[in-house]
Chains A and B, each alone.
Chain A
Amino acid sequence: QVQLVQSGAEVKKPGASVKVSCKASGYTFTSYGISWVRQAPGQGLEWMGWISAYNGNTNYAQKLQGRVTMTTDTSTSTAYMELRSLRSDDTAVYYCARANWVAATNFDYWGQGTLITVSS
């Protein structure tokens, strides 16, 4: 069965960076893409960006351009999302989700979420 398993919760100080991993199993990793979506406490869903596991193409939300980098390691079927220059309003649960390999589309399988807390 398709599974996306994310790394554990982290606490970071303002200005630091965080890198979240998302290990995929149960499907051919390079036949799909991975999107990252975050949810601040009590808030809605915010799409952060997408990476094709097929060819490494990326598409980032304009709001996060320059602060976020998404990568994949096809040898381990793992996707990564790095967010730099963290601020308090980056505190959120971060989800990875499976998407189309060509573009960010609908997301049919999701990871369990990773809570990132930014606090001094």
Chain B
Amino acid sequence: EIVLTQSPGTLSLSPGERATLSCRASQSVSSSYLAWYQQKPGQAPRLLIYGASNRATGIPDRFSGSGSGTDFTLTISRLEPEDFAVYYCQQYGSSPFFGPGTKVDIK
């Protein structure tokens, strides 16, 4: 099984700042099989990025994904107030697994 590690655990930033979230896999993941989700308290997760770099329908272009192999990154270019949330990466090879999440909170 492929284990995902996310860092940092918590990222404290101000609105307007750039957020860089990391997701590292225990073994190589096909770029086609890496996704990112956003989850706010009391809500279901929302798909942001699939295939490592493709924005899902309706996702603003301030969200971007990159990476390959074992290292992937989600970047939020300028944080909006509604972007403060928990972000999960997910690999979906034979059996999907989620990373433990990164919380982006207001500094």
Contact = CB atoms under 8 A, between A and B. Distances in A.
B44 A47 contact: no
Q: Which of A37, A106, A112: most chain B CB closer than 10 A?
A: A106
Contacts, number: 60
A45 B99 CA distance: 8
The contact size tier of chain A is 20 to 34
A106 B39 CA distance: 15
The contact size tier of chain B is 20 to 34
Q: Which of B1, B37, B51: most chain A CB closer than 10 A?
A: B37
A39 to B, nearest CB: 9
Interface string A95-116: 1010000011111101111000
A26 interface: no
B95 A59 contact: yes
Given A95-B44, A106-B35, A110-B46, A44 B98 contact: yes
**Prevailing SS type, chain A contact patch:** loop
A63 B9 CA distance: 25
Contacts of B1: 62
Contacts of A73: none
A72 interface: no
B56 interface: yes
B92 interface: yes
A108 B37 CA distance: 10
Nearest to A96: B44
B88 A62 contact: no
Contacts of A35: 96
Contacts of A103: 92, 94
Interface of B: 1, 33, 35, 37, 39, 44-47, 50-51, 56-57, 88, 90, 92, 94-101
Interface of A: 35, 37, 44-47, 50, 59, 61-62, 95, 97, 103-108, 110-113
